[in-house]
Amino acid sequence: MAQTEEPQLYLVTPPAFDLGSFPATLARALDTHPVACLRLALATRDEDTILRAADAIRDVAHERDIALVIDTHIVLADRLGLDGVHLTDGQRSVRSARKSLGEDAIVGAFCGTSRHDGMGAGEAGADYVSFGPVTAGALGDGSAVEPELFAWWSQMIELPVVAEGGLTEETIRELAPVTDFFAFGEEIWSDEDPAARLGQLVAAMR
Protein backbone atom coordinates (compact mmCIF):
# COMPACT_ATOMS: atom_id res chain seq x y z
CA MET A 1 0.00 0.00 0.00
CA ALA A 2 1.45 3.34 -1.00
CA GLN A 3 2.11 5.86 1.72
CA THR A 4 -0.40 8.69 2.08
CA GLU A 5 0.66 10.43 5.31
CA GLU A 6 3.21 13.21 5.37
CA PRO A 7 6.75 11.92 5.98
CA GLN A 8 8.27 12.37 9.41
CA LEU A 9 11.45 14.29 10.17
CA TYR A 10 14.76 12.69 11.06
CA LEU A 11 17.66 15.04 11.81
CA VAL A 12 21.34 14.15 11.49
CA THR A 13 23.95 16.16 13.37
CA PRO A 14 26.83 17.83 11.54
CA PRO A 15 30.03 15.74 11.33
CA ALA A 16 31.59 18.14 13.87
CA PHE A 17 30.02 20.80 16.05
CA ASP A 18 30.77 23.23 18.86
CA LEU A 19 29.63 21.77 22.18
CA GLY A 20 28.91 25.22 23.56
CA SER A 21 26.65 26.55 20.83
CA PHE A 22 25.22 23.61 18.90
CA PRO A 23 22.79 22.32 21.57
CA ALA A 24 20.92 25.64 21.49
CA THR A 25 20.88 25.65 17.69
CA LEU A 26 19.60 22.08 17.75
CA ALA A 27 16.92 22.94 20.30
CA ARG A 28 15.59 25.75 18.11
CA ALA A 29 15.35 23.40 15.14
CA LEU A 30 13.63 20.69 17.20
CA ASP A 31 11.12 23.21 18.56
CA THR A 32 10.22 24.45 15.08
CA HIS A 33 8.74 21.21 13.74
CA PRO A 34 8.01 17.79 15.25
CA VAL A 35 11.03 15.52 14.82
CA ALA A 36 10.83 11.75 15.23
CA CYS A 37 14.51 10.88 15.51
CA LEU A 38 17.93 12.48 15.89
CA ARG A 39 21.19 10.84 14.82
CA LEU A 40 24.60 11.63 16.28
CA ALA A 41 26.82 11.29 13.22
CA LEU A 42 30.31 12.58 13.93
CA ALA A 43 33.21 12.17 11.52
CA THR A 44 35.68 11.57 14.35
CA ARG A 45 36.43 8.20 15.85
CA ASP A 46 37.81 9.73 19.05
CA GLU A 47 35.81 8.17 21.87
CA ASP A 48 36.08 11.11 24.26
CA THR A 49 34.83 13.55 21.60
CA ILE A 50 31.87 11.31 20.84
CA LEU A 51 31.04 10.88 24.54
CA ARG A 52 31.05 14.62 25.15
CA ALA A 53 28.97 15.29 22.05
CA ALA A 54 26.40 12.70 23.10
CA ASP A 55 26.21 14.23 26.57
CA ALA A 56 25.68 17.66 25.02
CA ILE A 57 22.66 16.69 22.93
CA ARG A 58 21.09 13.76 24.79
CA ASP A 59 18.97 15.91 27.11
CA VAL A 60 17.98 18.22 24.26
CA ALA A 61 16.51 15.25 22.43
CA HIS A 62 15.04 13.35 25.34
CA GLU A 63 13.41 16.41 26.92
CA ARG A 64 11.40 16.59 23.69
CA ASP A 65 10.70 12.85 23.60
CA ILE A 66 12.85 12.45 20.49
CA ALA A 67 14.77 9.22 19.97
CA LEU A 68 18.55 9.63 19.77
CA VAL A 69 20.60 7.09 17.84
CA ILE A 70 24.30 7.01 17.05
CA ASP A 71 26.12 6.18 13.84
CA THR A 72 27.90 2.82 13.82
CA HIS A 73 29.04 2.55 17.45
CA ILE A 74 26.94 -0.25 18.92
CA VAL A 75 28.85 -0.41 22.21
CA LEU A 76 28.57 3.34 22.77
CA ALA A 77 24.85 3.30 22.05
CA ASP A 78 24.37 1.03 25.04
CA ARG A 79 26.93 2.71 27.29
CA LEU A 80 25.55 6.22 26.67
CA GLY A 81 21.92 5.28 27.23
CA LEU A 82 20.93 6.14 23.67
CA ASP A 83 17.89 4.73 21.90
CA GLY A 84 19.75 2.76 19.29
CA VAL A 85 22.21 2.69 16.44
CA HIS A 86 22.28 3.63 12.77
CA LEU A 87 24.46 1.19 10.85
CA THR A 88 26.25 2.36 7.74
CA ASP A 89 27.21 -1.03 6.29
CA GLY A 90 23.85 -2.16 4.96
CA GLN A 91 22.63 -5.48 6.30
CA ARG A 92 25.97 -6.77 7.58
CA SER A 93 25.82 -5.70 11.23
CA VAL A 94 22.07 -5.73 11.82
CA ARG A 95 21.85 -9.12 13.54
CA SER A 96 24.80 -8.46 15.85
CA ALA A 97 23.47 -5.01 16.75
CA ARG A 98 20.06 -6.44 17.56
CA LYS A 99 21.61 -9.18 19.69
CA SER A 100 23.77 -6.68 21.55
CA LEU A 101 21.19 -3.93 22.10
CA GLY A 102 18.03 -5.99 22.53
CA GLU A 103 14.60 -5.91 20.98
CA ASP A 104 13.61 -2.50 22.33
CA ALA A 105 16.50 -0.61 20.76
CA ILE A 106 16.25 1.12 17.39
CA VAL A 107 18.43 -0.51 14.76
CA GLY A 108 18.53 1.29 11.42
CA ALA A 109 20.57 0.47 8.34
CA PHE A 110 21.84 2.70 5.57
CA CYS A 111 21.74 0.68 2.37
CA GLY A 112 22.99 3.15 -0.21
CA THR A 113 21.23 2.54 -3.50
CA SER A 114 20.78 -1.23 -3.04
CA ARG A 115 17.28 -2.66 -2.88
CA HIS A 116 18.85 -6.05 -2.15
CA ASP A 117 20.70 -4.70 0.90
CA GLY A 118 17.54 -2.98 2.10
CA MET A 119 15.54 -6.19 1.95
CA GLY A 120 18.36 -8.09 3.65
CA ALA A 121 18.52 -5.54 6.45
CA GLY A 122 14.79 -5.83 6.99
CA GLU A 123 14.98 -9.62 7.13
CA ALA A 124 17.84 -9.35 9.63
CA GLY A 125 15.71 -7.28 12.00
CA ALA A 126 16.26 -3.60 11.14
CA ASP A 127 13.60 -1.16 12.30
CA TYR A 128 14.10 1.01 9.23
CA VAL A 129 16.30 1.24 6.18
CA SER A 130 17.62 4.39 4.56
CA PHE A 131 18.60 4.93 0.96
CA GLY A 132 20.71 7.70 -0.50
CA PRO A 133 21.96 9.95 -1.76
CA VAL A 134 18.91 11.03 -3.69
CA THR A 135 20.89 13.49 -5.81
CA ALA A 136 23.99 12.43 -7.72
CA GLY A 137 27.17 14.30 -6.89
CA ALA A 138 30.92 13.97 -6.69
CA LEU A 139 30.95 12.11 -3.37
CA GLY A 140 31.19 8.34 -3.15
CA ASP A 141 30.87 6.66 -6.54
CA GLY A 142 28.61 9.41 -7.84
CA SER A 143 25.50 7.22 -7.91
CA ALA A 144 22.07 8.24 -6.64
CA VAL A 145 18.91 6.38 -5.63
CA GLU A 146 16.29 6.18 -8.35
CA PRO A 147 12.92 7.53 -7.16
CA GLU A 148 11.39 4.28 -8.41
CA LEU A 149 13.09 2.44 -5.54
CA PHE A 150 11.14 4.47 -2.97
CA ALA A 151 7.92 4.04 -4.94
CA TRP A 152 8.42 0.26 -5.13
CA TRP A 153 9.37 0.03 -1.45
CA SER A 154 6.33 1.98 -0.27
CA GLN A 155 4.04 -0.30 -2.24
CA MET A 156 5.67 -3.65 -1.47
CA ILE A 157 7.46 -3.40 1.88
CA GLU A 158 6.00 -2.45 5.27
CA LEU A 159 9.36 -1.58 6.85
CA PRO A 160 9.78 2.21 7.15
CA VAL A 161 12.11 3.80 4.62
CA VAL A 162 14.23 6.93 4.99
CA ALA A 163 15.43 9.20 2.17
CA GLU A 164 18.72 10.95 2.89
CA GLY A 165 21.61 12.70 1.23
CA GLY A 166 21.49 15.51 -1.31
CA LEU A 167 17.89 16.42 -0.58
CA THR A 168 16.57 19.48 -2.37
CA GLU A 169 13.12 21.03 -2.36
CA GLU A 170 12.54 19.47 -5.77
CA THR A 171 13.50 15.94 -4.70
CA ILE A 172 11.52 16.34 -1.46
CA ARG A 173 8.38 17.16 -3.43
CA GLU A 174 9.00 14.16 -5.66
CA LEU A 175 9.63 11.68 -2.85
CA ALA A 176 7.16 12.92 -0.21
CA PRO A 177 4.38 10.55 -1.37
CA VAL A 178 6.66 7.48 -1.23
CA THR A 179 8.97 7.81 1.77
CA ASP A 180 8.29 7.53 5.49
CA PHE A 181 11.09 9.82 6.69
CA PHE A 182 13.36 12.53 5.36
CA ALA A 183 16.76 12.70 7.06
CA PHE A 184 18.10 16.25 7.00
CA GLY A 185 21.68 17.03 7.97
CA GLU A 186 23.92 19.41 6.08
CA GLU A 187 20.80 20.52 4.18
CA ILE A 188 19.91 22.62 7.23
CA TRP A 189 23.10 23.00 9.31
CA SER A 190 24.97 24.69 6.48
CA ASP A 191 22.36 27.46 6.51
CA GLU A 192 22.74 30.58 8.67
CA ASP A 193 19.33 29.82 10.21
CA PRO A 194 18.90 26.03 10.40
CA ALA A 195 15.42 26.24 11.94
CA ALA A 196 14.18 28.48 9.14
CA ARG A 197 15.76 26.28 6.50
CA LEU A 198 14.09 23.24 8.06
CA GLY A 199 10.79 25.04 7.73
CA GLN A 200 11.40 25.60 4.02
CA LEU A 201 12.15 21.92 3.47
CA VAL A 202 9.09 20.87 5.45
CA ALA A 203 6.97 23.16 3.32
CA ALA A 204 8.22 21.32 0.22
CA MET A 205 6.82 18.09 1.65
CA ARG A 206 3.26 19.37 1.49
Pairing of strands 161-164, 8-12: unpaired
Question: What pLDDT sits at residue 137?
Answer: 74
Contact 56, 23 (CB under 8 A): yes
Q: What would the mean pLDDT of 40-66 be, rounded to a whole number?
A: 96
Contact 110, 90 (CB under 8 A): yes
pLDDT digits 0-9 by tens, 139-185: 667 789 999 999 999 999 999 999 999 999 999 999 999 999 999 99
Domain residue ranges of the chain, discontinuous segments joined by +: 8-194
Kindly provide the b/e burial profile for residues 171-196, where b requires at least 16 CB atoms within 10 angstroms of the residue's own CB.
bbebbbbbbbbbbbbebbbeeeebbe
The pTM is what? Answer: 0.94
Kindly report the CATH class assigned to 8-194.
Answer: alpha beta
Question: What pLDDT sits at residue 139?
Answer: 66
